[in-house]
């Protein structure tokens, strides 16, 4: 018993030394009549968002005051993250598509101060959703981030190596025009994520019905939903070119042969058949596409040409460090209109991605 207590104390102390807290769902006890009334209200009034003021990717300064007047949805990411952030950003982009209209703002706070400069955040925003004027990505500082984490009740902590440098919450926070937090939603839980959409629409005074819009072609959808951002290099997700007819090993060790039904299922329920070997999860696009759009998108994906592959066993030169790279199935690569470029490491690939022209021969 004493030992258990000692462990609990040790954990509590460790917790207070860092600002490491896992994404906490906010269910506080309704201790006063006022609290109780809020709990019953369709969109609970939670707590005031923290004060902050940070430079944004577009050269502006974004603060609690500058955002006031219109609601915003905030999340927490960093640009070099390879596990959860591409998924979080894909969800952020999805929300931006789902919630058009000028009365809403989107903010992504970087949890990697010092590394995520305004220039890096700008490149990241351009890559994911360049047309979106309502979305701003903010460069933070160590103390600024610490205050932010406390104020939004989220986690952000540097790790000692591993795939990613920072471990952080996957929550999306909804803040109203008065700067009050109205919900913290776990983006990994589809039901909670759906609630975020509904509560935001309710806060904006709209109905919960998705907006009316013309049906989009497979090609437009592929770009609008930033599919290529994860699928462009086989480090994050399997390249999609020439997929139909290929055999895939699933996490369950089963082997499947990709056909159009498999492509559709991957888009709607990606976790049903997860391809082995990728730490990142793919977001589900269920509920976002009409039947015709889903067909158009899966046809488009099924027709993507296989990359003009260099014969396996050949040796290519990494354009960044000039090391020789043996071409194998798992070799790090980037595919573009100009062909396939191979890299010795993710570091070289990321340098190349930031400024390909600097390394072109």
Site residues for ligand HEC per CB under 6 A? 86-87, 90, 225-227, 229-231, 237-238, 240, 243, 248, 258, 263, 266-267, 270, 274-275, 278, 280, 282-283, 285, 297, 301
**46 within 8 A of 180, measured Cβ to Cβ:** yes
Return d(Cα 139, Cα 24) in angstroms, integer: 24
Nearer to ligand HEC, 168 or 231 (CB): 231
Nearer to ligand HEC, 302 or 341 (CB): 302
Nearer to ligand HEC, 118 or 230 (CB): 230
Q: How far is the CB of 217 from ligand HEC (least distance, A)?
A: 13
Residue 80: half-sphere exposure toward Cβ, Cα within 13 Å: 19
**241 within 8 A of 221, measured Cβ to Cβ:** no
Q: Which pair of tokens denotes residue 72?
A: 């915003």
Q: How far is the CB of 299 from ligand HEC (least distance, A)?
A: 11
Q: How far is the CB of 179 from ligand HEC (least distance, A)?
A: 30
Nearer to ligand HEC, 247 or 361 (CB): 247
Q: By CB neighbour count within 10 A (0-12 exposed, 13-18 middle, 19+ buried), where does 268 fall?
A: middle
Q: How far is the CB of 234 from ligand HEC (least distance, A)?
A: 9
Q: How far is the CB of 297 from ligand HEC (least distance, A)?
A: 6
Q: How far is the CB of 12 from ligand HEC (least distance, A)?
A: 35
Nearer to ligand HEC, 12 or 250 (CB): 250
Q: How far is the CB of 272 from ligand HEC (least distance, A)?
A: 9
Q: How far is the CB of 218 from ligand HEC (least distance, A)?
A: 9
Nearer to ligand HEC, 107 or 258 (CB): 258
Return d(Cα 336, Cα 137) in angstroms, integer: 26
Q: How far is the CB of 358 from ligand HEC (least distance, A)?
A: 26
Nearer to ligand HEC, 175 or 284 (CB): 284
Nearer to ligand HEC, 149 or 280 (CB): 280
Nearer to ligand HEC, 7 or 306 (CB): 306
Nearer to ligand HEC, 96 or 266 (CB): 266
Closest by Cα among 179, 207, 227, 220 to 99 = 207
**89 within 8 A of 192, measured Cβ to Cβ:** no
Q: How far is the CB of 15 from ligand HEC (least distance, A)?
A: 30
List phi, psi (to 5°) of 192. -70, -40
Return d(Cα 57, Cα 105) in angstroms, integer: 14
CA distances to 166, 259, 292 from 300, in Å: 36, 13, 12
Return d(Cα 277, Cα 235) in angstroms, integer: 9
């Amino acid at each position: 018993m004493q030992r258990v207590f000692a462990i609990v104390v040790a954990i509590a102390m460790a917790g207070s030394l860092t600002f490491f807290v896992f994404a906490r769902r906010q269910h506080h006890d309704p201790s006063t009549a006022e609290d109780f009334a809020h709990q019953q209200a369709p969109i609970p009034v939670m707590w005031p968002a923290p004060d902050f003021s940070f430079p944004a990717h577009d050269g502006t300064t974004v603060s609690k005051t500058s955002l006031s007047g219109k609601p915003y949805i905030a999340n927490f990411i960093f640009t070099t993250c390879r596990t959860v952030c591409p998924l979080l950003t894909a969800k952020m982009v999805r929300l931006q598509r789902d919630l058009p209209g000028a009365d809403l703002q989107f903010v992504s706070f970087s949890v990697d101060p010092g590394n995520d400069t305004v220039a890096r955040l700008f490149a990241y925003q351009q890559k994911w959703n360049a047309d979106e004027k309502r979305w701003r990505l903010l460069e933070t500082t160590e103390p600024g981030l610490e205050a932010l984490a406390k104020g939004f009740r989220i986690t952000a902590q540097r790790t000692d190596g591993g795939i990613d440098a920072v471990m952080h919450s996957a929550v999306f926070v909804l803040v109203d025009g008065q700067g009050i937090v109205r919900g913290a939603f776990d983006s990994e839980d589809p039901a909670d994520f759906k609630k975020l959409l509904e509560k935001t629409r309710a806060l904006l005074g709209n109905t919960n019905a998705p907006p009316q819009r013309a049906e989009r072609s497979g090609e437009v959808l592929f770009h609008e939903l930033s599919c290529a951002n994860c699928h462009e290099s086989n480090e994050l997700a399997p390249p999609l070119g020439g997929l139909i007819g290929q055999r895939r090993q699933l996490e369950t060790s089963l082997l499947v042969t990709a056909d159009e039904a498999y492509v559709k299922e991957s888009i709607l329920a990606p976790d049903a058949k997860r391809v082995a070997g990728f730490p990142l999860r793919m977001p589900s696009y269920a509920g976002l596409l009409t039947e015709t759009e889903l067909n158009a998108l899966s046809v488009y994906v099924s027709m993507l040409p296989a990359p003009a592959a260099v014969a396996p066993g050949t040796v290519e030169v990494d354009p960044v460090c000039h090391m020789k790279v043996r071409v194998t199935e798992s070799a790090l690569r980037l595919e573009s209109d100009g062909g396939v470029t191979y890299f010795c490491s993710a570091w070289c690939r990321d340098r190349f991605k930031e400024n390909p022209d600097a390394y072109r021969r």
